[in-house]
């Protein structure tokens, strides 16, 4: 018997379906057979996911992008748009992105602007994309070294998640996604943090050899991915365009993490490594401000350490402290000119604004943030 879980969401009035299944989804499912009729479609992948895309959609016109964050540029978007034109897509055509976060973000951006918006299905093939990048409608690419400086809100009409595609995922990629999964579990409730913490060994040890254990671990993995994916979609449903504070909570670890990525040079760190380091910083900042209970911070940092994430400050790749502080100040989540931070609290997390939080304002706040990044604030 094959498990398939389908859940329908609505992001700002736009319907979005998430399908999680064992076994590769059938091409016909991905193409929306029986639901909508697309006169033409284009599959987008990168060199790593070309074989998955070809297996799922053997007759597809295929646009194969270069892999990695370096490819997350307008040039790649333009290749997708021109391939769509060559494949004869009209405004009623379908884009299918098969790949990790970069492919999903690029394909989704291209679909969102192609003739002012075509249909979009995503087949995330990395843990990061399954629990984060493919969900919730944020699309984008990098400009002048700033991650996702250009983008749109454009939820996929359908997201098809199959954890089987993770079997051959490199450890570094697995860890990158696992950090986002842990992040979501910190925001979640009812023991999700413990459940998510318990599957990290798959990353280190791979799946167990014995078939029953293997099956049980696979099911646990699928359940955790589903919980994280649905949690994120639920948050986005409440605040699709991040106008309120709800969606901003998903940025836990991202304010420090993005700044580290900028300072280290885009592509040097995996996104998840940066986020894990950022979560540790958010814990420290929360403790320093008296918002995060010490046992909570310790539990979080302990799991991050168990699975080999770098949690110490300064990060070994933090080459340029000035660039880090500038990136922190320019963070695009800022409101009214001042950055905002997401801080783990007893249950879940809290959004705080730099200028409204005692101890975080002005020169004192700058010194604290720098001190936390460089480990010299105590």
Residues that bind its own copies (CB under 8 A): 13, 37, 39, 74, 78, 81-82, 85, 90-92, 112-117, 138-140, 143-144, 146, 148-153, 241, 330, 332-337
CA 311 to chain centre: 19
Q: In angstroms, what is the minimal distance from the CB of 261 to its own copies?
A: 16
Nearer to its own copies, 85 or 370 (CB): 85
In whole angstroms, what is the distance from residue 350 CA to residue 320 CA?
29
Nearer to its own copies, 73 or 305 (CB): 73
In the complex with its own copies, the residue whose CB is nearer, 139 or 311, is 139
Please state the closest distance from residue 307 (CB atom) to its own copies, in A: 31
From the CA atom positions of the chain, what is the Rg in Å? 20
Q: How far is the CB of 338 from its own copies (least distance, A)?
A: 10
- Minimum CB separation of residue 339 from its own copies in Å reads 10
Q: For its own copies, which is the closer residue by CB, 152 or 305?
A: 152
Question: Minimal CA–CA distance to 101: which of 27, 146, 49?
Answer: 49
Q: Three-state DSSP class for 8?
A: strand
Sequence-distant (≥ 6) Cβ neighbours of residue 98 within 8 angstroms: 43, 44, 45, 49, 52, 53, 56, 57, 123, 125
Peptide bond preceding 344 in cis form (omega within 30 of 0): no
Q: What residues form DSSP beta bridges with 301? A: none
How far is it, in rounded angstroms, from Cα 365 to Cα 369? 6
CA distance 76 to 34: 32
Nearer to its own copies, 81 or 291 (CB): 81
**Greatest alpha-carbon span in the chain:** 63
Q: Which is nearer to its own copies, 339 or 344 (CB)?
A: 339
Counting every residue written for the chain, the total comes to 378
Smallest separation (angstroms) from its own copies to the CB of 202: 33
Minimum CB separation of residue 279 from its own copies in Å reads 23
């Amino acid at each position: 018997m094959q498990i398939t879980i389908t859940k329908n969401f609505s992001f700002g009035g736009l319907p979005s379906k998430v399908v999680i299944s064992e076994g590769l989804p059938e091409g016909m499912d991905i193409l929306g057979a029986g639901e909508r009729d697309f006169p033409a479609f284009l599959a987008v992948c990168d060199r790593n996911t070309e074989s998955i895309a070809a297996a799922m959609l053997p007759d597809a016109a295929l646009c194969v992008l270069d892999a990695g964050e370096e490819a997350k540029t307008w040039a790649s978007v333009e290749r997708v748009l021109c391939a769509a034109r060559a494949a004869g897509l009209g405004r009623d055509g379908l884009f299918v992105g098969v790949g990790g976060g970069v492919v999903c973000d690029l394909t989704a951006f291209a679909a969102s602007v192609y003739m002012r918006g075509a249909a979009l299905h995503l087949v995330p093939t990395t843990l990061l994309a399954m629990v984060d990048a493919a969900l919730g409608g944020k699309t984008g690419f990098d400009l002048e070294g700033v991650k996702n400086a250009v983008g749109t809100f454009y939820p996929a009409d359908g997201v098809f998640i199959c954890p089987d595609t993770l079997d051959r995922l490199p450890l570094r990629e697995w860890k990158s996604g696992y950090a986002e999964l842990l992040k979501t579990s910190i925001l979640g409730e009812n023991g999700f943090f413990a459940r998510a913490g318990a599957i990290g060994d798959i990353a280190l040890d791979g799946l167990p050899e014995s078939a029953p254990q293997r099956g049980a671990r696979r099911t646990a993995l699928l359940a955790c991915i589903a919980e994280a994916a649905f949690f994120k979609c639920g948050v986005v449903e409440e605040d699709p365009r991040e106008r309120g504070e709800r969606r901003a909570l998903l940025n836990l670890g991202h304010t420090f993490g993005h700044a580290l990525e900028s300072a280290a040079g885009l592509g040097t760190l995996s996104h998840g490594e940066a986020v894990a380091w950022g979560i540790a910083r958010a814990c420290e900042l929360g403790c320093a401000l008296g918002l995060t209970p010490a046992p909570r911070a310790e539990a979080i940092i302990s799991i991050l350490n168990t699975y080999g994430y770098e949690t110490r400050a300064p990060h070994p790749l933090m080459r340029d402290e000035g660039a880090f502080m500038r990136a922190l100040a320019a963070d695009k989540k800022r409101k009214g000119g001042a950055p905002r931070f997401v801080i783990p609290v007893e249950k879940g997390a809290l959004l705080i604004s730099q200028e409204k939080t005692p101890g975080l304002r002005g020169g004192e706040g700058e010194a604290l943030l720098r001190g936390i990044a460089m480990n010299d604030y105590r």
